[in-house]
Amino acid sequence: MKVLGISGSLRRDSHNAQLLRAAAQQLPPGVELELWDDLKAVPPYDADDDATLPRPRALRELDAAMREADAVLIATPEYNHSVPGQLKNALDWLSRPLVKSPLRNKPVAVVGASTGLFGAVWAQAEVRKVLGAIGAKVVDRELPVGQAADAFTEGGRLVDGELELVLADLLAELLGEVREAVAEAA
């Protein structure tokens, strides 16, 4: 089983990319997390460009990676209490055309890290809202990792044991959605 991990941050030392790597350490045997880290190459959405084939290279690669994956895990930073533009932009591209979106019926969970106290809860809620509009199977649970600069151990796990448990529950729910989708399709 494959989970596609996308960090909404473009920063080299992103805490959200770190959070995805912490999640990878918690996945059960047989489940791998593939990190997709080319968000910066996705151009701004333009409906004129969208009507022109081929679609941009990075978008085609993201679309294909998402279709190949059984589930998606998005780690979002929070910019001004909302979703970073580059992540929202990619989701907008992926939503067109809606009926063919790789996110449609795809199990997706959202986590988030911020350097503030609240762990990107508003951004996570907004990403879940956007995913719902696109028709993804969105896990309701959130994982707010605040004060992210001090939130990870040297081994890359979360310092806070409670948050490690929340992450485990969230991943279990995400993989449960995948198994449910497989059972429905059989």
Ligand X SMILES: Cc1cc2nc3c(=O)[nH]c(=O)nc-3n(C[C@H](O)[C@H](O)[C@H](O)COP(=O)(O)O)c2cc1C
Asked if 11 touches ligand X (CB under 6 A), the answer is: yes
Q: Which two tokens stand for residue 49?
A: 């460009």
Q: State which amino acid sits at residue 79.
A: Y
Task: Report in angstroms the alpha-carbon separations of 10 from 30, 31, 36.
Answer: 29, 25, 11
Output the six-digit token pair for 70. 């059984």
Contacts of residue 63, Cβ cutoff 8 Å, sequence gap at least 6: 55, 94, 102
State which of residues 4, 5, 16, 107 lies at the interface with ligand X (CB under 6 A).
16
Site for ligand X in 29-68 (CB under 6 A): none
From 71-79, 95-103, 151-159, 163-171, span contacting ligand X (CB under 6 A): 71-79
Among 35, 50, 79, 147, binds ligand X (CB under 6 A): 79
What CA dihedral angle connects 44, 45, 46 and 52, to 10 degrees? 100
148 binds ligand X (CB under 6 A): yes
Q: How far is the CB of 115 from ligand X (least distance, A)?
A: 4
Q: Is 124 in the site for ligand X (CB under 6 A)?
A: no
Q: 22 or 178: whose CB is closer to ligand X?
A: 22
Residue nearer to ligand X on the CB measure, 35 or 172: 35
Amino acid (1-letter code) at residue 69 = A
Binding piece for ligand X, criterion CB under 6 A, among 6-14, 45-53, 54-62, 172-180 = 6-14
For residue 14, the surrounding DSSP H or E stretch is none
> What would the two tokens of residue 111 be?
């986590």
Nearer to ligand X, 130 or 178 (CB): 130
Is 144 an interacting residue with respect to ligand X (CB under 6 A)? no
With CB atoms as reference, the residue minimizing the distance to ligand X is 116
Q: In 10 A of CB 69, how many CB atoms?
A: 24
3 state DSSP class of 104: coil
Q: Should residue 88 be labelled a site residue for ligand X when binding is judged by CB under 6 A? A: no
Q: Which residues are near ligand X by CB under 6 A?
A: 9, 11, 14-16, 77-81, 113-116, 118, 120, 148
